[in-house]
């Protein structure tokens, strides 16, 4: 019965997202987002102290942003277009967990399971992203792109919690998504699908190994093939060439240079290198240090990793594709 209930609310979550992005009325968009909020809260709720705290935090933040969004919709009839546009965009960026409004997300993810974290970092970003570009403001967009790129890369350097590392990497990826959405909407869809696939594979690996901290990587011994595929996906998410995660960033850089965004492209590349650094820390921890034959290291039975390794092999196709490009 519990699984059936979660399935119903999961389908409701999907339907509310499709409803919000396909309607032509702001009130309907707001109603779809409220239905999405109700569905996601039901999915993440559990009889656990940390989970209950995360549920309450998520509800309060989403309720406040929904109130701001509803007020901005009502101001459309009051000849206050500039203030209304700013208020609506700020509420959507807060829902998106974008910098500098990302601190509620940092506290929230502590009580989320790996499955719910996947939904929070992928599917829950679709509605705010698309609604932001319904009322586009160039200056505000550049400001938020810069802040996402800087905060997502710098604040992730001193983190030891794997969930927080993935969250700050997601904030950095948000700057690339905003930029490529501005340049080409169709390419944004490809970027989002590649990012979601790689992130999902990494999260499933950590879920099966029950990893929370970087230090736990020292106490798990995987065979060479599984370790190779996991590290390859980490480097791909960081955007290291010639892996699959580098190709959408490469396309974004080319479009930015063609549109004369030289300084912005340079800054985003430098910040992306910082995010690659804390993925290289994970690569060093679970590859080089585990090459020593330490007796107390726990050996995992990873027969169930066959499907994950098959999905991870998709990243290798970018080696051929990048050479062709």
Of residues 300 and 117, more confidence is placed in: 117
CA angle 52, 198, 302 (to 5 degrees): 80
Q: How far apart are alpha carbons 84 and 73 in whole angstroms?
A: 7
Looking at the chain, the whole-number percentage of residues with pLDDT higher than 90 is 26
> Which range, 43-52, 178-187, 212-221, is most confident?
178-187
For 220, phi then psi, to 5°, come to: -125, 130
pLDDT digits (tens, 9 = 90+) for 190-240: 899 989 988 988 888 888 777 777 766 665 555 666 677 777 888 888 888
Residue 232 Cα distances to 197, 211, 240, angstroms: 13, 18, 9
Report pTM.
0.87
Residue 35: which H helix or E strand, with range? helix 26-44
Is it the case that residue 296 has pLDDT exceeding 50?
no
Q: What is the pLDDT of residues 118-155, one digit of tens each?
A: 999 999 999 999 998 887 778 888 999 999 999 988 88
Tell me the percentage of the chain whose pLDDT exceeds 70: 79
pLDDT band at 19 (very low <50, low <70, confident <90, very high): very high
Q: Is the pLDDT of residue 78 over 80?
A: no
Average pLDDT over residues 36-53: 80
Would you state the pLDDT for residue 18? Answer: 92
**What is the domain partition of the chain in residue ranges?**
1-95, 99-324
**DSSP E strand stretches across 134-275:** 220-221
pLDDT in tens, 230-287: 778 888 888 888 788 888 999 999 999 999 999 999 999 999 988 888 888 777 766 6
Q: Mean pLDDT over all residues of the chain?
A: 81
Take residue 212 and report the two structure tokens written for it: 């929370």
Q: Would you state the structure tokens that stand for residue 150, as one six-digit string?
A: 């800087």
- Are 300 and 220 in contact by the 8 Å Cβ rule? The answer is yes
Say whether 298 sits in a helix, a strand or coil: strand
pLDDT bin (cut points 50, 70, 90) of residue 93 is very high
């Amino acid at each position: 019965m519990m699984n059936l209930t979660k399935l119903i609310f999961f389908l409701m979550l999907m339907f509310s997202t499709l409803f919000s992005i396909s309607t032509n009325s702001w009130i309907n968009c707001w109603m779809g987002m409220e239905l999405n909020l109700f569905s996601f809260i039901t999915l993440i709720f559990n009889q656990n102290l940390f989970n209950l705290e995360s549920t309450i935090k998520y509800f309060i933040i989403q309720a406040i942003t929904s109130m701001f969004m509803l007020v901005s919709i009502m101001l459309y009839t009051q000849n206050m277009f500039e203030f209304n546009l700013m208020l609506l965009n700020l509420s959507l960026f807060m829902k998106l967990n974008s910098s500098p409004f990302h601190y509620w997300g940092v506290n929230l993810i502590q009580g989320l399971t790996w499955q719910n974290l996947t939904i929070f970092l992928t599917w829950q970003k679709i509605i705010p992203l698309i609604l932001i570009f319904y009322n586009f403001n160039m200056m505000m967009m550049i400001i938020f792109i810069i802040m996402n790129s800087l905060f997502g890369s710098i604040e992730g350097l001193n983190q030891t919690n794997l969930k927080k590392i993935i969250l700050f990497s997601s904030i950095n990826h948000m700057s690339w998504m905003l930029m490529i959405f501005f340049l080409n909407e169709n390419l944004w869809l490809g970027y989002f699908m590649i990012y979601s696939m790689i992130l999902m594979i990494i999260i499933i690996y950590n879920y099966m190994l029950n990893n929370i901290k970087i230090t736990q990587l020292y106490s798990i011994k995987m065979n060479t093939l599984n370790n190779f595929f996991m590290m390859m996906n980490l480097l791909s998410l960081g955007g290291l060439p010639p892996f699959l995660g580098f190709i959408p960033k490469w396309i974004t850089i080319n479009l930015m240079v063609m549109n004369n965004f030289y300084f912005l492209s340079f800054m985003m590349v430098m910040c992306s290198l910082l995010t690659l650094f804390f993925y290289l820390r994970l690569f060093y921890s679970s590859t080089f240090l585990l090459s020593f034959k330490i007796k107390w290291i726990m050996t995992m039975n990873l027969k169930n990793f066959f499907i994950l390794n098959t999905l991870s092999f998709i990243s290798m196709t970018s080696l051929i594709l990048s050479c062709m490009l």
